[in-house]
Structure 1
Amino acid sequence: MLRTRITLVAVTAVAAAIVVAVVTAYRTVSPLVADQVDRGLSDRADTVLALLRADAPLPVRPDMTEQLLLPDGTVRPLTPGRNPLPVTAADRAIAVTGAGVNETEIEVDGVGYGILTKGRPGGGAVMVSQNYADVERIDREFLWRTVWITAIALAAAALLCWLAIGRILRPIRRLAAATDHIATTQNLSTTLPDNDSGEVGELTRSFNTMLAALRFSRAQQQRLAEDAGHELRTPLTSVRGSAELLQRARGRLAPDDEATVLATLVQEAKALDELVRELVDLATDQYAAEDPAPVALAELAEDTARRFRRRTARVITVTTEDPATVLARSRALTRCIDNLVDNASKFSPPDSPIDITVRDRTVTVRDRGPGIDATDRTAVFDRFYRADRTRSTPGSGLGLAIVHDIVTAHGGTVSADNHPEGGATFRFTLPG
């Protein structure tokens, strides 16, 4: 579960930070406490020496024991009722000279003691010891309190992280539930909730954009299937009718009539073949698999013109004005120019020329046909659209639609207009 994993990571980070802080603080404070204890022993020894010089009574501290070590090694207790402190050779040497300091630590019945021996001017030494029981108790309490505080802090951090992460992940859970619903029901009309302005909101908006694209794609597929069924019905009906006529006649038709029927079969079969081929192009988007590369538009135009001159014996001129090189799919753009020139050939008189102009990133194809009505200038790029005046002209109504789809996929624009001197002009412009 994502929420649990993120919470564990956050709590682990908090625990590591707390442990580092506690260990650092303990290691910093512990030497300070030890220095304070040593300073307390030294101050107590100075106090005892001063009181001995003034022959004043020594105030008793419950955690300390004092005694006077004479130069001959004799010990005189200064704190009644306390056990004498152990004397080492170093302590005796200080008592003989009356100068120097010696620090030792001992343990009695599991309790630590610190002992400071300090020389007394004129001979002898003062020995002061302090019970470390309170210091060790404070140290233990510090550690236990630190452990408890750390545990409470971690529990609070875990709870806060759990709640905060749950709130942060709530939009993601809603998004996951919505996408799961869409995947289960295949209902692309669902709109994902978008109530966040951060990264989750951007992700949701991206999903909504993707859903919109899928809805559009599905609508196009349904429309393509419906339009294709409608367009295929006409040539198939003609082919079937001609074939049934030949089947019923069984050789009894006049030669001229039989030739007409066979010509109709061939013509409709060609139209059907062209329609199926263009439908496959639209449905499979085969040009999308081609990798974009630098393409010289002028070279593509010249290549198309050469091929159509041989095919149609027309005069096809190519004019270039500062032609550009674009990053595009070469075969796809070749299909665009081919379709525009083929369209111009269909709607121009047989002996009329076709002009191709390449200006910067724009390719324009002009024919000498009847032109385009104002109401048809946008619709001609729709699939299967046929203007009233062109319904008798051979074609599937998909050539310009393919041009539109390819150019739009490249981020460009297409348009159609009438030329001032007659005929129609079709152009597409690609981005830089």
Structure 2
Amino acid sequence: MPATARSKRRFGRLGVRRRLFVTTLGLLVLCAGALVSVVLWSFERFYLATAAADLGARTHALAQTAGDLLEQDDLTRLRLLVERYGAPEDIALRVVAPDGRLLATSQQDPAESAIVWPTVPGMAEALAGRAANGIAPGLVDSQERIYHAVPIVRHGRQLGVIRMSRSLAQLQAHMTATVFTVLAALAVILAVGAGFVAWFARGLARPIQQMRDFAVALGRGELGARLAIARADELGELAAELNRMAERLAALEGERRSFLANASHELRTPVSNLHVTLQALDGGAGEDPELRTRFVRTAVDETTRLRTLIQDLLDLGHLEAGSTRLERSDTALRPVLERATRAIEGRALDRRVSLAVDLDEDLTVCIDPERIAQALLCVLDNALKFSPAGSRIEVAARRRGSRVDITVRDQGPGIADADRPHVFEQFYTADPARRRGGSGLGLAIARRIVDAHGGTIHVDTGPARGAALVITLPLASPAA
């Protein structure tokens, strides 16, 4: 495997904390290194420019004095002048005649006699009447020097050239000391920065690692775990959302377990009854025509009960998953109510229960008529189960502003105050008096359908005898 791929894989396996540390520290080193390089380069350029300006000013000033002495042909004083101002160790000062002869020098080196002065850097320009400056190797050593050559002119006549140079060794020593100082300061800054970056990475990575462990715990089914992260930033908001998600998952898990337990219980009873009936028929009970008819009827009833329960479970599952598509349209409410009441009319007659439908006016609602008819049928079926013989079920629809209230009222035993908040839950069995057959899912299905239409369903708390369930739906918008 190539080294680049291996390094990428190693970096990919680093934790968030290490990756933050390495990345941030790398950026810090890169920025600090770039800043130091610019500072040192600027310092060197500034020092060279300052040294060149100072050398040029001194050379021009000495050119004036040397011109006076050359005009007087006073070479003795000229040599004294050159020796005096060229006395510093890092300074070299020379005066050359227009024909290239060395007139005075501050360097007492015999090798200078062999130098061809017109070929020395800057001398050709100065002998031609132009000042010159630059950096060149020393004439008697290999050290780099900065030089300035100025022509000496009087009354339009060139008397010679003065050339002053200065060794850059002192500048290089200053630069070396400056580099070490800056690097030491940079090391201190990086050490402090590394500590800060480590603290920052640890503070940022800790909640992320806690969220990772929390997510792993949720994946293992530990829904009671919670994050204790209190931060006034996006990570704090994320932690709060994760806690809320865990609470919702715990609630859903509780509902799921309760649903499975209730569904299993509901399915077990008809299956057991059917099994016992079939065993009896298989054991010879079918030879008696009366017993055979009764057992076959029992098997048919239990099969019907199973089919109804399974269909209710499927409907509830589709509604909760949101996979049931509503085909909403502006629909007259009266035909929907009459259709639902006709569906239970036969069973109501068998139990000697009358039905009454009352609409104060023609109402139009924005609904899926099939689904609302199903919800109304669930509510009516619930009312019929608890209606005594000779009683009446009343269905009334009244306008309430931009909505309509559909009330289904029976004359049965009513609903206890403690049970009212739970009547729309799946398989709710808190009150055995209201457990008279059925799957226990009808009102839960009705609530899901009404919720999907943007409506509400609740138990009326009025003083009347019996139970009253109220469905509230939005009216259709008036035509433009």
TM-score calculated relative to the size of structure 1:
0.78
Change in CA separation of 1:160 and 1:251 when aligned onto 2, cut-off 3 Å: closer
Q: Does 2:33 match 1:19?
A: yes
Contact kept, 8 Å, 1:71 with 1:124, in 2: the verdict is yes
Change in CA separation of 1:195 and 1:75 when aligned onto 2, cut-off 3 Å: same
- 1:128 offset after TM fit, Å? 0.8
Task: Choose which of 151, 175, 178 in structure 2 pairs with 1:119.
Answer: 151
Q: Counterpart of 1:308?
A: 340
- 1:106 offset after TM fit, Å? 2.1
The AA in structure 2 aligned to 1:191 is: R
- 1:166 offset after TM fit, Å? 1.4
Change in CA separation of 1:236 and 1:320 when aligned onto 2, cut-off 3 Å: farther
Task: Choose which of 213, 216, 228 in structure 2 pairs with 1:193.
Answer: 228
CA RMSD of the aligned region, Å? 4.1
Find the residue that maps to 1:61 and give its secondary structure.
Answer: coil
Contact kept, 8 Å, 1:292 with 1:330, in 2: the verdict is no
Partners of 1:293 and 1:75 lie apart in 2 by 110
Report Cα offsets for 1:42-91 as digits up to 9, x if no partner.
12213423554486743322211111122343222241425647633773
Partners of 1:200 and 1:189 lie apart in 2 by 21
Partners of 2:245 and 2:453 lie apart in 1 by 18
Contact kept, 8 Å, 1:356 with 1:364, in 2: the verdict is yes
1:99-178 pair list within 5 angstroms: 100-108=130-138, 109-122=141-154, 123-143=159-179, 145-147=181-183, 149-178=185-214
- 1:219 offset after TM fit, Å? 1.9
Partners of 1:201 and 1:430 lie apart in 2 by 40
- Structure 2 runs not aligned, ≥5 long: 1-14, 70-76, 346-354, 476-480
Change in CA separation of 1:64 and 1:411 when aligned onto 2, cut-off 3 Å: farther
Q: Does 2:53 match 1:39?
A: yes
- 1:400 offset after TM fit, Å? 0.8
Q: Counterpart of 1:268?
A: 302
1:367-378 pair list within 5 angstroms: 367-370=409-412, 372-375=414-417, 376-378=419-421
Task: Choose which of 394, 400, 404 in structure 1 pairs with 2:443.
Answer: 400
Change in CA separation of 1:7 and 1:19 when aligned onto 2, cut-off 3 Å: same
The AA in structure 1 aligned to 2:53 is: R
Q: Counterpart of 1:79?
A: 106
The AA in structure 2 aligned to 1:105 is: I
Partners of 2:373 and 2:19 lie apart in 1 by 54
- 1:8 offset after TM fit, Å? 1.9
- 1:214 offset after TM fit, Å? 2.2
Q: Does 2:447 match 1:414?
A: no
- 1:295 offset after TM fit, Å? 3.8
Change in CA separation of 1:322 and 1:118 when aligned onto 2, cut-off 3 Å: farther
Q: Counterpart of 1:278?
A: 312
Q: Counterpart of 1:379?
A: 422
Partners of 1:321 and 1:204 lie apart in 2 by 52
Find the residue that maps to 2:42 and give its secondary structure.
Answer: helix
Change in CA separation of 1:112 and 1:321 when aligned onto 2, cut-off 3 Å: farther
Find the residue that maps to 2:222 and give its secondary structure.
Answer: coil
TM-score calculated relative to the size of structure 2:
0.72
Q: Does 2:382 match 1:343?
A: yes
Partners of 1:202 and 1:431 lie apart in 2 by 36
The AA in structure 2 aligned to 1:231 is: E
Q: Does 2:244 match 1:216?
A: no
Change in CA separation of 1:322 and 1:25 when aligned onto 2, cut-off 3 Å: farther
Range with bigger deviation, 71-80 or 52-61: 52-61
Q: Counterpart of 2:470?
A: 427
Q: Does 2:321 match 1:288?
A: yes
Q: Counterpart of 1:235?
A: 270
Range with bigger deviation, 381-390 or 168-177: 381-390
Range with bigger deviation, 316-325 or 29-38: 316-325
- 1:351 offset after TM fit, Å? 8.2
Partners of 1:63 and 1:16 lie apart in 2 by 38
- 1:149 offset after TM fit, Å? 4.5
Contact kept, 8 Å, 2:337 with 2:376, in 1: the verdict is no
Report Cα offsets for 1:240-285 as digits up to 9, x if no partner.
4444444445444354x54344333322321232123323444x45
Change in CA separation of 1:64 and 1:158 when aligned onto 2, cut-off 3 Å: same
Contact kept, 8 Å, 2:415 with 2:466, in 1: the verdict is no
